[in-house]
Structure formats: structure tokens, C-alpha cells
Amino acid sequence: MGTENISGRASRAYSTARDNQHVRRLIEDEELRASLIAAALAGRKALQRIQSNRSSAVESVTQDKRVKKELQSAADSLRDAADRLKAPAKKKRHPIRKLLFVGIITGGLVLAFSESARKSLLDAIFGAEEEFVYTSTTSTESAQTNGTPVGE
């Protein structure tokens, strides 16, 4: 009966954690985790520095520049983490895709509205268009001398 109780509590804890938006953000957001880890490390360094000083904790916090720096770093990291929790999760956008999309649209519009651009593209793909000039090998004078009428 004790294992069922533990199993039930674990299941409820898992469901609660899974449904909590902050826990989901912590799992999914790498920058949020990095901010929290940085805050914890800076806080630990400050605490170790305070404990290693021979003076009181208040004097260490107010006078030791390294302690002040570590505490400021911890506060900044916690502020960043809080801002990330408040802001909605941002989807990563790929600027290259956006640039490619704009380029394709622009190219299509240029081809649609510019005849010279279409001609240049066709020339580049299929080669330059050759001008065809037809010249007859027979002339009207030679046809009349052979005895054949010109129209036939």
C-alpha cells in the first residue's frame, strides 16, 4: 500500500509539473536555464567570498568589490530569467529564409514587369536568340531564264 501511495504522489507531481507553464518554459528555453545557472554560480561565488572574509557579512557586502560584482552578476542573471519567464516563448526565425523569400518574390515581380529582364533570363538559360534572315538562293531573273514562271 505504501508503494501505491508513493506512485500516486509521483504521478500527481509529474502531472502538475507538466501542466505548469513555468516548468515547461524551464525545460524548453535554453537561455532561461543559462540565466538561472549563471545566477546560481555568481551567488555561490559571492557567498564563498563572504564566508572566507574575516570581517562581518555586512562589511563584505558593502566593501568588498568582488562580492559586489558577483552579487550584481547574480541579480542581472535573475532579472534576465524573470524577463524571459514573463515574455512569451519566441519561435526561432531564420533570417536566411526570410531573405530568400523576399528575393524570390522580388525576382518574380521583376520578371513579370520587365521585358528586358525576361529576355536576359531567357538568353542566359537558352542562349542568345539568333536572328534568322532568309535569303533566296534563286533569283527571279534566273528563274525566268530557265523557262519556269516566277510564281510556280
Mean pLDDT, consecutive 10-residue stretches, the chain (152 aa), reads 70 80 81 90 89 82 86 90 76 80 90 85 80 74 56 52
Backbone φ, ψ for residue 127 (5° rounding): 95, 160
102 residue type, one letter: V
CA dihedral of residues 123, 124, 125, 129 (deg, nearest 10): 20
Residue 105's pLDDT is: 92
pTM as predicted: 0.47
Alpha helices for 1-139 (secondary structure H): 2-19, 21-28, 30-52, 57-63, 65-86, 95-113, 115-126
pLDDT at 150: 55
Q: What's the pLDDT score for residue 1?
A: 47
- Residue 78's closest CA among 28, 36, 31? 36
Residue 105: CB atoms within 10 A of its CB come to 10
What single-letter DSSP state applies at residue 92? P
How high is the pLDDT of residue 44?
92
The SS3 assignment for 13 reads: helix
Task: Quote the pLDDT of residue 91.
Answer: 66
Whole-angstrom CA distances from 149 to 136, 137, 138, 152 are 16, 16, 13, 6
